């Protein structure tokens, strides 16, 4: 394989640099939800998804093709060594080229996935699964282990996750935030979710603080 240097002098394989991905956006922000809430990350948002959740805030059908070399170049402009692969559904992509490019530069790699695609061992440092079987009962959650289970609460029975939650270190319940709903309407769901967390030990409350604050 041919190798070459890019930007910071690190030697990379040409095949990895040429890998193409559908990218909705790349941005530097603070993680607003879940275990790493409040910690700055670079978010790489991929286009495409195998589900169509009504509350999704991403137009994942609108994206541009970017080479891995271009992605690395853009990420390196930020003073941040933590990356979150998100979407859409990032596990629709072969992330190994990006894994190799970023790991040899000392990055910590996390993913936010719906869990319908099994994640290869060793690919990521942190696995956050947010299952959508509350709206897609026929969708099978294949990734049944990880660091963080983050369930969007829309009124479902939490017994749905009795087996799944065993495989995760941290379990979060997050009220469904609807962009088009009023503050009062979203507040009602927050109150309901808070009550459910109080009544079910082993779950922690997660809030999408970035949305409440009006930031990315």
Say if residue 119's pLDDT is above 90.
yes
Please name which of 139, 114, 137, 138 lies closest in space to residue 127, comparing C-alpha atoms. Answer: 114
Break the chain into its structural domains and give their ranges: 3-213
Please name which of 127, 98, 133 lies closest in space to residue 113, comparing C-alpha atoms. Answer: 127
Residue numbers annotated as active site: 43, 49, 53, 56-58, 112, 210
Q: How far apart are CA 157 and CA 126, in angstroms?
A: 27
Q: Residue 141: its pLDDT value, please?
A: 93
Indicate the pTM of the whole model: 0.89
Q: Quick: pLDDT tens for 133-181.
A: 776 777 889 999 999 999 999 899 999 999 999 999 999 999 987 766 6
Q: What φ, ψ does residue 152 adopt, rounded to 5°?
A: -80, 120
Q: Residue 180: its pLDDT value, please?
A: 67
The overall average pLDDT reported for the chain is: 89
Q: How confident is the model at residue 187 (pLDDT cuts 50, 70, 90)?
A: confident
Q: Which one is predicted more confidently, 209 or 162?
A: 162
Q: Residue 55: its pLDDT value, please?
A: 66
Q: How far apart are CA 80 and CA 107, in angstroms?
A: 8
Q: What angle do CA 131, 98, 96 make, to 5 degrees?
A: 70
Query: Are 153 and 189 contacting, i.e. CB atoms less than 8 angstroms apart?
Result: yes
Radius of gyration (C-alpha) of the chain in whole angstroms = 18
Strand order across the beta sheet in which 204-205 lies? 64-67, 20-30, 40-46, 82-86, 108-113, 126-129, 146-153, 168-175, 204-205
Q: How far apart are CA 169 and CA 165, in angstroms?
A: 8
Q: Quick: pLDDT tens for 47-104.
A: 999 887 776 667 777 899 999 999 999 999 999 999 999 999 999 999 999 999 999 9
Q: Which one is predicted more confidently, 25 or 139?
A: 25
Please give the CATH superfamily to which domain 3-213 belongs.
Aldolase class I (3.20.20.70)
Structure tokens at 38: 């409040």
Average confidence (pLDDT) over 22-31: 96
């Amino acid at each position: 394989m041919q190798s070459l240097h890019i930007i910071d002098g690190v030697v990379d394989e040409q095949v990895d640099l040429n890998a193409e991905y559908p990218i909705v956006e790349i941005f530097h922000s603070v993680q607003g939800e879940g275990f790493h809430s409040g910690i700055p990350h670079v978010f790489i948002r991929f286009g495409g998804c195998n589900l169509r959740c009504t509350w999704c805030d991403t137009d994942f059908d609108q994206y541009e093709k970017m080479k891995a070399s271009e992605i690395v170049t853009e990420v390196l402009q930020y003073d941040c060594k933590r990356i979150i692969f998100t979407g859409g559904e990032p596990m629709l992509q072969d992330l190994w080229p990006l894994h190799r490019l970023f790991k040899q530069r000392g990055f910590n790699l996390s993913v936010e996935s719906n869990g319908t695609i099994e994640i290869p061992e060793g690919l990521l440092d942190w696995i956050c699964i947010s299952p959508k079987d509350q709206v897609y009962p026929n969708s099978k959650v294949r990734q049944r282990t990880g660091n963080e289970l983050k369930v969007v609460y829309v009124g479902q029975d939490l017994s749905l996750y009795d087996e799944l939650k065993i495989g995760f270190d941290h379990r979060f319940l997050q009220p469904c935030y609807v962009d088009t709903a009023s503050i009062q309407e979203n507040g009602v769901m927050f109150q309901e979710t808070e009550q459910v967390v109080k009544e079910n030990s082993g779950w922690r409350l997660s809030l999408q603080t970035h949305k409440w604050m009006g930031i990315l």
